[in-house]
Structure 1
Amino acid sequence: MSFLFMFPGQGSQRAGMLHALPDDPAVAQTLTEAGDVLGVDPLTLDTAEALRSTVAVQLCLLIAGVAVARTLTRQDAGPDMVAGLSIGAWPAAVVAGVLEFSDALRLVRLRAQLMEDAYPSGYGMVAIIGLAEPEVSGIVAQVSTTATPAYVANVNAERQIVVAGNDAALARVAERALSHGASKATRLCMAVPSHCPLLDAQAAELAAAAAKATAHAPQVTYVSSSRARALFRANLIVEDLAWNMARPVLWHDTLRHALERGANMAVEVPGGGALARLAQGVFAAEAVLDAGAGLDAVRVRIRRWGRGDGR
């Protein structure tokens, strides 16, 4: 039996998310480490006011993901495989043993600051529900111009496609998508146009900084959501992490790849439900868990199902 931990991206944050972490030594250790590296109490980052900043959002998602995964690992319920959507790839890499948590904190802070500085306003992302990727791509091609750019950014499911770009372009994409039969077009809680060429320069700067970090071969299988395949060389994973802000997310294909590599259960960490719902389109419903609904249930299910590697 093989277990996949899925780490969510920006948009899954919520006020008080760090305060709601389990009362566990692994959580306390993670919060202390984060405070030492960042020079601020991480529990000040998850207020509604603080989460208006992309920097606070991405740091909270990194800290929460690592803290919950460490808690489950300490309880003998850790992963055999990891994957993360967007910023979620960073806690995935830490849990896989590729990056030290301290390096990930510094690099994620830089990542978020670069994104926030580049696009303080006027840009974002919209999720189109009910249309397939070719249909959305056709609409984007009709709408996008140099002045009002738009790009297909995420293929989260067969009929859940996210578009990034300029506010005016996104409004036109949403309008046309609905007129073409989309059931919903929802603006996401994102202030930046992630996963498209609008962030190429920022990704290059982050890649230069990330290349200086010490990286290790993964101790569990790391699946890239930019490439929808497993990566095993440390330098390639670090490069993948740095550039994922400017590359489309192939989340549906990533889940299918994890399934084909032998993942039998998918667990959303730290929880929230968005990735669990997407995973139910790939995995059997009973094989998908949301850690946000309670770690005891996750631990019991993993122990009950057993492990093929003898752990």
Structure 2
Amino acid sequence: MKAYVFPGQGAQFSGMGLDLYEKSPEAQELFNKANEILGFSITDIMFEGSAEDLKETKVTQPAVFLHSVILSKVGENFKPDMVAGHSLGEFSALVANGVLSFEDGLKLVSKRAQAMQKACELESSTMAAVLGLEDEMVESVCSETEGIVVAANYNCPGQLVISGAYDAVEKACENLKERGAKRAMILPVGGAFHSPLMEPARKDLAAAIENTQFNKPLCPIYQNVSTFAVNDPEEIKKNLVFQLTAPVKWTQSVQNMIKDGASEFIEVGPGKVLQGLVKKIDRSMNTSSAGLE
């Protein structure tokens, strides 16, 4: 069975999507429609902007979403048996498997990016990568550390990301190194994604999600919050709302996809980060990047 997976923020690169635009009239149409919906020329930033230009949350999230979704529409032989997306990538997966329309997906992603940006400005917060410790040890250190700091991304065994108030994350990094972490380093991100500090953004996004049409999926989606196959539009909605303040359980999602019969993972969008994580979760899996026809 083929599992298609969609990357999140951090996968962007300068020049992304230009090959799609140049080779496919359908891609051109979708990119032009995106410029209209967003009210600014995201294609200019994607095709010609610097890495710095692409780093702004309100640009990054729609850019990665557009690259993934348009590739799924114009790429070769897109026939998923199951899908999943890492954080932001969940929105790309939902458009690709028919739950959201292209327009609604992009509007929600834009709303999400703006809401997260606003939440980031309320308090000094950050995230940090932790390598070489068991999940339980990381969770335990976070719970013992004063202030808000939680496990935010379960990327693969031995690789977690923690998230929270700046001072608490810094302190947790010190404690984790003392407990034997190979590395515990602050990441260059705008704020504490997938932590309780995203609550204002969750409320903003919840209202937008409630007012959006969600259809029955063409194939199951394994969501970050629940990690199991979901087919019910109402359940998908609920999980999507909680995703902003809950951890991304990527390891568990991939393990469940494999348990349910996935034998090949195809990454749809910029970069190869998810292929690397899948290999670290199960070395025997076939992984590849989605290509153009």
CA distance in 2, matches of 1:143, 1:275: 30
**Over residues 7-26 of structure 1, what are the superposed CA-to-partner deviations in whole Å (9 max), with x where a residue is unaligned?**
11112222222335462334
Paired amino acid for 1:210: I
Provide the rounded CA distance (Å) in 2 between the counterparts of 1:167 and 1:14: 27
Alpha-carbon offset, residue 220 of structure 1: 1.7
Partners of 2:219 and 2:28 lie apart in 1 by 24
Aligned twin of 2:137:
135
Partner residue, 1:35? 35
* 1:180-191 superposed matches below 5 A: 180-191=179-190
- Alignment check: 8 A CA contact 2:170 2:186 kept: no
Give CA-to-partner distance per residue, 1:94-132, whole Å, 9 cap, x none. Answer: 001000111111111111111111113721211101001
Structure 1 residues 1-311: aligned runs within 5 Å:
2-21=1-20, 23-46=23-46, 47=49, 48-72=51-75, 75-120=76-121, 122-145=124-147, 149-285=148-284, 287-291=286-290, 295=291
Structure 2 residues not aligned, in runs of 5+: none
Compute the RMSD of aligned alpha carbons. 1.9
Output the TM-score relative to the length of structure 1: 0.86
State which drifts further: 198-207 or 90-99: 198-207
Q: Compute the TM-score of the two structures, normalised by the length of structure 2.
A: 0.91
Q: Distance in 1 between matches of 2:178 and 2:155?
A: 21
Letter in 1 for 2:156: A
SS at match of 2:225: coil
Quickly say closer, same or farther: Cα 1:87–1:240, change in 2 above 3 A. same
- Any gaps of 5 or more consecutive residues in structure 1? 300-311
Cα 1:25–1:5 shift into 2, 3 Å: farther
Moved over 4 A (4+): none
Change in 2 beyond 3 A, CA 1:286/1:163 = closer
Q: State how far apart, in whole Å, the 1-side matches of 2:285 and 2:118 are.
A: 42
Superposed displacement of residue 184, structure 1? 1.8
Whole-angstrom CA distance in 2 between matches of 1:197 and 1:222: 25
